[in-house]
Amino acid sequence: MENKKELRTWLDDFGLSHPLVIAGPCSAETEEQVLTIAHELKNTDATVLRAGIWKPRTRPGNFEGVGSLGLKWLKKAKDETGMLTSTEVANPTHVDLALEHDVDILWLGARTTVSPFIVQEIAESLKGTDKIVLVKNPVNPDLPLWLGAIERLYKSDIEKIGAIHRGFSTYEKTRYRNNPNWQIPIELQTRFPDLPLICDPSHIAGRRDIVFDICQTALDLNFDGLMVETHHNPDKAWSDAQQQITPATLVKMMEDLRIRKSTDTEADYRNALNTLRTQIDVIDHQVIEMLGKRMKVADEIGLLKKEKNVAVLQTRRWNEILGKMILEGEQNNLSEEFVLRVFKAIHQESINHQEKVIKG
Ligand code: PEP
Ligand code: MN
């Protein structure tokens, strides 16, 4: 798929002066719940109501969604509030039912995007539709797989396409439920600047206290919209209770977010600069995290050395590391002098860590 200007038109058609906001509960639970939330969202920046009808749960036994019954509630919410509606579809039957009930935006979930077979079936069942179809990134950090799903839809003559970044699953526990790996959506945006890109901070965060920060980073990186899980009584939600925010919090969040509009060349320049600075911030954060990880490994080596009563400083090993890093530095356009300085500092910190372990 090449970058095409038409990719943007569906988003431009909304004519919004702020990012597109899709909000609503993780899952539709009852008619009353869907209608209450829709009415609370009605006069906010949220243009589109979301609610999961069929829920892909990692393990059986959890709430798996109310099924097609919930589509009637979405239709009622649309009729009563004028909001557009959206839900996840994970097979052609879901697609048929969602289209029958006039759902406006359909999205493919992270667990669907990983499977080219099912994406192809969905693309065929949607062939030629003028509905908006959004593709969440796959659970694993794999840009070609994400792109592949988008291309399958594109080849099925679906013109109104967008991508949703919801973070990537990791085995290790981090502060995020799904690691943002911002470099992946940045790469997608660089290759397809006209493909609308929406951030789902709720599934990245997994907890409501960092939803705001993730939204701010996304907007600083020029994302076009946000999909935020919103519930009138988040703690009582039947799924994803910890990450949902109330409609009132969403309103406050939209007021507090720095939202950039590129209107003149000065603003364009500042936007470009801010986007690059945010990329630097993301990378710096990764550098610090990686250094922290390296020191943890150094601590473990310290423990081993303590058990075996071996000296902390192992000169031969250290010279090998330096030699390798100077070569890799060259391939990455880094001067030998810089690599030496950085690695001497890292090495010193490792030795300090190990000495602490050995003495401790
Ligand atoms: C959801 O949006 O509720 C959902 C299940 O998301 P994901 O596919 O990103 O896990
Ligand atoms: Mn959810």
Neighbours of 151 (CB within 10 A): 16
Do the domain assignments include residue 75?
yes
**Domain that includes residue 193, residue range:** 5-256
Strand partners, 227: 22
Do the domain assignments include residue 294?
yes
Nearest to 239 by CA among 86, 110, 61: 61
Do the domain assignments include residue 343?
yes
CATH (domain of 306): 1.20.59.10
Rounded Cα gap, residues 150 and 163, in angstroms: 8
Do the domain assignments include residue 261?
no
Do the domain assignments include residue 262?
no
Tokens of 68: 């097609």
Among 200, 228, 256, which residue terminates a domain? Answer: 256
| Sequence-separated (6 or more) residues with CB below 8 Å from residue 192 | 1, 3, 7
- Regarding beta strands 132-136 and 105-108, do their DSSP bridges make them parallel or antiparallel, or are they unpaired? parallel
Residues 197 and 273 both lie in one domain? no
Half-sphere CA count of 64, side-chain side, radius 13 A: 7
Residues 147 and 291 both lie in one domain? no
Question: Which of 200, 211, 230, 242, when mutated, tests ligand 1's pocket best, judged by the most ligand atoms within 8 Å of its CB?
Answer: 200
Among 256, 291, 317, which residue terminates a domain? Answer: 256
Q: Ligand 1 pocket, 94 CB below 6 A?
A: no
CA of 27 to the centre of ligand 1 (A): 10
- Answer yes or no: are the C-beta atoms of 197 and 223 closer than 8 Å: yes
pLDDT tens string, the chain, 360 residues long: the values are 778 778 889 999 999 999 999 999 999 999 999 999 999 999 999 999 999 999 988 888 888 999 999 999 999 999 999 999 999 999 999 999 999 999 999 999 999 999 999 999 999 999 989 999 999 999 999 999 999 999 999 999 999 999 999 999 999 888 999 999 999 999 999 899 899 999 999 999 999 999 999 999 999 899 999 999 999 999 999 999 999 999 999 999 999 999 876 556 777 787 788 888 888 988 998 899 999 999 999 999 988 888 888 877 778 888 899 999 999 999 999 999 999 999 999 999 998 998 888 887
Alpha-helical runs (H) found in 140-264: 143-155, 183-191, 201-205, 211-220, 247-256
* Ligand number, closest to the Cα atom of 200: 1
Residues 191 and 275 both lie in one domain? no
Do the domain assignments include residue 56?
yes
- pTM for the model stands at 0.82
Rounded Cα gap, residues 218 and 227, in angstroms: 11
Do the domain assignments include residue 333?
yes
Q: Ligand 1 pocket, 163 CB below 6 A?
A: no
Considering Cα of 261, then 264, then 266, then 272, what sign does the dihedral take? positive
Token match 């493919």: residue? 108
> C-alpha 112: how far from its chain's center?
15
Number of domains, the chain: 2
Residues 151 and 293 both lie in one domain? no
Q: Ligand 1 pocket, 50 CB below 6 A?
A: no
The DSSP code for 225 is E
* Ligand number, closest to the Cα atom of 206: 2
Residues 274 and 243 both lie in one domain? no
Among 256, 277, 302, which residue terminates a domain? Answer: 256
Residues 100 and 74 both lie in one domain? yes
Which burial class, exposed, middle or buried, applies to 206 when counting CB atoms under 10 A from its CB (0-12, 13-18, 19+)?
A: middle
**What backbone phi and psi angles, to 5 degrees, belong to 27?**
-125, 145
CA of 229 to the centre of ligand 2 (A): 7
Residues 252 and 284 both lie in one domain? no
Residues 320 and 191 both lie in one domain? no
Residues 81 and 132 both lie in one domain? yes
3-state helix, strand, coil in the chain (%, to 5): 55, 10, 35
Rounded Cα gap, residues 200 and 203, in angstroms: 6
- Answer yes or no: are the C-beta atoms of 209 and 250 closer than 8 Å: no
> C-alpha 314: how far from its chain's center?
42
Nearest to 229 by CA among 258, 253, 256, 196: 253
If you write DSSP's letter for every residue of 22-80 in order, what string do you get? EEE-SB---HHHHHHHHHHHTTSSEEEEE-BSS---SSTTS----TTHHHHHHHHHHHH
Residues 212 and 292 both lie in one domain? no
Q: What pLDDT is attached to residue 148? A: 97
φ/ψ bin of 82: left (φ > 0), alpha (ψ from -120 to 50), beta (otherwise): left
Residues 216 and 314 both lie in one domain? no
Do the domain assignments include residue 76?
yes
CATH (domain of 144): 3.20.20.70
Residues 239 and 326 both lie in one domain? no
The DSSP code for 191 is H
